[in-house]
């Protein structure tokens, strides 16, 4: 799931590096990297989760006749789809176009992305033998990712590219449930019935996610985001015991490279724990205001979010008031990246997103 504009990334000296690792050239001085490292610019950088995709007519035209997984493994398609919203909206960052199951498929897991449903797993994981069949991901498994990221960073220039991966819990939920789930009942049952098997599963998935992020960073991504879409289904106690160590094992080894963003839906009660997983930036959905999120996170908090995606269908005066409120609340944090509280709905009028970008850029 990628997105771009026209500002990219190259190598630079360590003096420019915000996290102590290699700087990312022009993109290292971008509004996104500055905000993500507590050095905000005159206004919050703006990008939108799912900014590339079904809300854009040019995306629908380009994708006609190709499956989602095929598109996610074709460098030319990845590049063009990632760049589309950057050209159209003038966003301050591109998010890599892909899907969270791509690295699983690359290791041999049978998964199909069914239109209108989501990822569907051929053989759900329910026992130790199935866990042991999961093999590590290597960079050679995803050469199309390396090629696409390198091309994008050249095309984007000073606009940063955000790489991403699915978090261990969310990926495990798909693998155990066999597809999307409302209550994650099988996942939670396995978690509690056989903690040893659960931790073995998440350790393997975490290794795959970590390698997938590292591949994108090595190819030139300026930041990465770990999506834990379903973590909000957990209590804080369960998250801390069964999930946090594995998310930390993904994010902590990447310290000193690029800013790390961690996002989940319905995770207001988990924000502090998610920051403890190694996040430089904590994504916040629309259920918790950004000033309250900053209070919960404490000194040094950097937040991302959090306009309610449903408001994109409202009248412009409603959208404008909400955008101004989010920007004002974000000033309570040491850094703020403007985004939605989740992804762009497919029926969104693209013009609304363009107007939001222009509005945020005017709020210096």
Residues constituting the chain: 364
- Assess whether 99 carries a catalytic annotation: yes
Tell me the C-alpha to C-alpha distance, in Å, between residue 337 and each of 112, 126, 180.
33, 39, 29
The catalytically annotated residue of 99, 228, 280, 285 is 99
On whether the CB atoms of residues 71 and 63 are closer than 8 A, the answer is yes
- Assess whether 43 carries a catalytic annotation: no
- Assess whether 54 carries a catalytic annotation: yes
- Assess whether 325 carries a catalytic annotation: no
On whether the CB atoms of residues 155 and 10 are closer than 8 A, the answer is no
For residue 340, the cross-strand partners are 307
Q: Taking every pair of C-alpha atoms in the chain, what is the biggest distance, in angstroms?
A: 56
The catalytically annotated residue of 50, 73, 210, 260 is 50
Alpha-carbon distance of 245 to 59, in angstroms, equals 37
For residue 224, the cross-strand partners are 163, 260
The catalytically annotated residue of 63, 186, 296, 325 is 63
The catalytically annotated residue of 34, 54, 150, 355 is 54
Other Cβ atoms within 10 Å of 68 Cβ, number: 18
Of the CA atoms within 13 Å of residue 283, those in its CB half-sphere come to 27
Alpha-carbon distance of 290 to 296, in angstroms, equals 10
- Assess whether 50 carries a catalytic annotation: yes
Would you give the end-to-end CA distance of the chain in angstroms? 29
The catalytically annotated residue of 59, 144, 174, 239 is 174
Active-site residues, by number, are 50, 54, 63, 99, 174
């Amino acid at each position: 799931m990628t997105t771009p504009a026209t500002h990219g990334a190259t190598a630079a000296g360590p003096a420019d590096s915000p996290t102590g690792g290699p700087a990312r050239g022009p993109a290292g001085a971008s509004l996104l990297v500055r905000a993500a490292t507590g050095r905000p610019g005159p206004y919050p950088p703006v990008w939108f989760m799912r900014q590339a995709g079904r809300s854009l007519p040019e995306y629908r035209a380009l994708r006609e006749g190709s499956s989602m997984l095929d598109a996610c493994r074709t460098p030319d398609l990845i590049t063009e789809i990632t760049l589309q919203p950057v050209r159209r909206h003038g966003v301050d960052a591109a998010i890599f176009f892909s899907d969270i199951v791509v690295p699983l498929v690359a290791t041999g897991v049978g998964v199909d992305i069914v239109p209108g449903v989501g990822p569907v797993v051929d053989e759900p994981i329910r026992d130790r033998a199935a866990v042991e069949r999961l093999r590590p991901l290597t960079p050679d498994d995803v050469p199309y990712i390396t090629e696409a990221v390198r091309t994008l960073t050249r095309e984007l220039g000073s606009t940063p590219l955000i790489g991403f991966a699915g978090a261990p819990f969310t990926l495990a939920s798909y693998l155990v449930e066999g597809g999307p789930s409302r209550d994650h009942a099988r996942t939670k049952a396995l978690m509690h019935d056989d903690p040893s098997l659960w931790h073995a599963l998440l350790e393997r998935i975490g290794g795959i996610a970590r390698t997938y992020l590292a591949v994108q960073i090595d190819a030139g991504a300026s930041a990465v985001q770990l999506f834990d879409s379903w973590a909000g289904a957990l209590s804080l106690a369960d998250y801390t015991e069964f999930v946090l160590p594995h998310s930390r094992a993904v994010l902590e080894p990447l310290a000193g490279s690029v800013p790390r963003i961690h996002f989940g839906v319905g995770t207001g009660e988990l924000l502090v724990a998610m920051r403890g997983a190694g996040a430089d930036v904590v994504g916040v959905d629309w259920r918790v205001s950004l000033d309250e999120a900053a209070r919960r996170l404490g000194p040094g908090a950097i937040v991302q979010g959090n306009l309610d995606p449903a408001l994109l269908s409202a009248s412009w005066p409603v959208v404008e008031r909400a955008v101004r409120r989010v920007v004002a609340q974000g000033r309570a944090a040491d850094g703020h990246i403007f985004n939605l509280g989740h992804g762009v709905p497919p029926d969104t009028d693209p013009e609304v997103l363009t107007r939001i970008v222009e509005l945020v850029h005017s709020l210096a």
